[in-house]
Structure formats: structure tokens, C-alpha cells
Amino acid sequence: MATYRLTDFDAVLAIARKGSFRAAALDVGMSTSALSSAVSKLEEQLGVRLFNRTTRSVSLTAAGERFVDQVSPALKDIHRALDTVRSQQETPTGILRINTFATAGREILAPLVLEYLRRFPGVQIDLVTEGNLVDIVANGFDFGVRSQNLVPSDMIAIPIGSARRYAVVATAAYFKGRKPPQVPSDLKGHACIRTRLPNGALFRWQFEAEGQPVHVDVEGPITLDEASLARMAVLDGIGIGFFMESDVRDDIEAGRLVRVLDAWTPSLAPLCLYYPSRRNPPAAFKVFVDLARELARSSKAS
């Protein structure tokens, strides 16, 4: 008699959802080869092909579509039952998946994620950083972390962390012989490190004057798509960079970088941990929420 594993069914749904074995493998925490092998074995046991595979695409067969339609509700019920049992655990265990963007990931890593792991070593954290805003439920995440203004209205949100601002910086050596910008339009006369967004568009530097937004299209010798690379270029004296303050705070305090246009960068919306309402969340989920609320209270107090 054939035996079936719950993880194999989860894998099929992930491939159907992502349309790619590689993306689905990342989604379920498996290697692409292991995922492909698991699905092939399941197809062999069922005696039908669930997917049409080419070198460029993956799509459900007719049998695969029926399988996904019928299995999805049952899997939700099974996972809900597992959550109910896990909610009774005395010692939290399991895996929590969190989706955020790179800068926020750096901001929450030490005070929230690493602190959580120290308190609850039986839990594993899968932290995924990406520029695009995703549906955390559809993509199998327990939590999301985004700016408060980007949190979907149907989610529960907990503001976490301290006040956030942008920072415009360069080295003192860069400004030697150059007049630092006094207003955003002065950036037109400077070499700026440009940033490309996940959708391919160039990021417009964002400022504010008397409550009104001011966006500047800067020019410069290099365009990058990651803040850590831009920081390296700025520290090397190539030009002026535009960062989240948290990414360059230590450099400013140590004197490695000089801040300009400070009055033009007001406070931003706070980061929020957000998640869907769950009737019987696992113990690992509940204590993570508790720690986030603890962090939020400490941030307010300070």
C-alpha cells in the first residue's frame, strides 16, 4: 500500500502557487532536486502526471488541477488541526517563516529574531528578504514586516522598533573642495549613488518640505540595487548616498560619514510585524507575537 507524506502535498501546492520548482523549493525549505524527486515519486504512486514540465515553464495538468482543487481545503484543515495541537505545547518548537525587505531585516534581526532564538532554541526561523510586497498567507509565511503604511488592512499589526528616517551621507573627503548640498535641488551638482528598485525603476530620493513631499532624480557614476553595496561605494568616497538611517548610523557616529540635508528627512512610518488572525496558533507563533509586543512596549518607553 502506497504511503503519502504531508510535505509532498505541500510541495505540489507550492509549485502550483509559484509556477516554478525553484521558487517552490525556496518556499517550502527544500532543495530543488529534493522537491522534484518528491513530486516525481508522488506522481509515480498516483499513476498520473500532475505537472507539465519544460525547460522554461511548469504548469498543472488537468489531473493536477483537480488534485490541487480537492486537496487544498483538506490540507488547510489538517494544518489547522496541527496548529491546535501545537498551541498546547509547553515548549515552543517548529519553524516560523517571516517575509520582509532587506533593511527591515537588518533592523529586526538582533532585537527580535535573535533574541527570540535565544529564548526559544527549539524553534527555527526562516527569514526571507525581498523588495516586492507579497501576500504572506498565499506564500506560506507566518509573519510579514513592512512599513506601517504598507500593511494590508485585514492583518493584525504590531509597530516595532524605534523611529525611522532617511539619511543622506558622504565622506568628509568627498566634500573637500565641494560645497555640501543645502537643499535637495543642490544634489544636481553632485555625484550620487543611484539605486535600482526590484521592479527595475530607479529610486527617486525622497524628502519633505513643510509637510510636502519632494522627489529628486539624482545623477551619478554608479547604479546599485543593494544598500550594503551603496554604503561601500559611499565610504570609498565615490559620492553621496541615500540610506535608511539605521544602515549608516554607526558610520555617522564614528565620523566615517557626514550627514547632510538632515532637516529635509522627517520621521517615517514605523515598521510593523503583521499577521493574519489565527484561532489556535502554535505555541511558537504565540510567543513570537508576545516578544514583538514586548519590543513595541520597550520602544515606546525609550
The Cα 14–Cα 129 span in angstroms is 18
Which triple of cell numbers denotes residue 12?
Answer: 505540489
The larger pLDDT score, comparing residue 269 to residue 220, is at 220
Q: Is 173 left (phi over 0), alpha (psi -120 to 50) or beta?
A: alpha
Instruction: Note the pLDDT tens digit of each residue in 285-295.
Output: 999 999 999 98
pLDDT at residue 125, rounded to an integer: 96
The whole-angstrom distance between residue 136's C-alpha and the CA centroid of its chain comes to: 10
Q: What is the mean pLDDT of the chain?
A: 90
Percent of the chain with pLDDT over 90: 57
The Cα 244–Cα 203 span in angstroms is 13
The Cα 97–Cα 129 span in angstroms is 11
> In the chain, where does DSSP find H-type helix?
6-18, 21-28, 32-46, 62-86, 102-108, 115-119, 172-175, 227-235, 245-253, 283-301
Q: Which of 260, 66, 272, 75 minimizes the C-alpha distance to 170?
A: 260
pLDDT at residue 33, rounded to an integer: 87
166-264 and 6-74 share a CATH fold: no
Residues 213 and 268: beta-carbon distance below 8 Å? no
pLDDT at residue 229, rounded to an integer: 95
For residue 1, pLDDT beyond 60: no
pLDDT at residue 145, rounded to an integer: 96
CATH, range 166-264:
3.40.190.290
Q: What is the residue extent of each domain of the chain?
A: 6-74, 94-160+270-301, 166-264
Q: pLDDT band at residue 2, thresholds of 50, 70 and 90? A: low
Q: What is the pTM of this model?
A: 0.69
For residue 185, pLDDT beyond 80: yes
pLDDT at residue 264, rounded to an integer: 95
Residue 252, beta-bridge partner list: none
How far are the Cα atoms of 6, 73, 80, 137, 285 from residue 16, in angstroms, in the given order? 16, 15, 21, 15, 26
Tell me how crowded residue 251 is: count the other CB atoms within 10 A of its CB: 19
Instruction: Note the pLDDT tens digit of each residue in 64-84.
Output: 999 999 998 888 888 878 777
Mean pLDDT of 168-187: 96
The Cα 251–Cα 173 span in angstroms is 14
Instruction: Note the pLDDT tens digit of each residue in 221-252.
Output: 999 999 999 999 999 999 999 999 999 999 99
Instruction: Note the pLDDT tens digit of each residue in 9-59.
Output: 888 888 888 888 888 887 777 788 888 888 898 998 889 999 998 877 888
The larger pLDDT score, comparing residue 115 to residue 301, is at 115
- Within a 13 Å sphere around the CA of 37, how many CA atoms are in the beta-carbon half? 5
**CATH for 6-74, options being 3.30.479.30, 3.30.70.260, 1.20.1250.20, 1.10.10.10:** 1.10.10.10
pLDDT at residue 190, rounded to an integer: 97
For residue 214, pLDDT beyond 90: yes
**CATH for 94-160+270-301, options being 3.30.1660.40, 3.40.190.10, 3.90.1150.10, 1.10.3720.10:** 3.40.190.10
Q: Output the DSSP codes for 102-146.
A: HHHHHHHIIIIIIHHHHH-TTEEEEEEE-SS---TTTTT-SEEEE
Instruction: Note the pLDDT tens digit of each residue in 124-159.
Output: 999 999 888 889 988 889 999 999 989 999 999 999
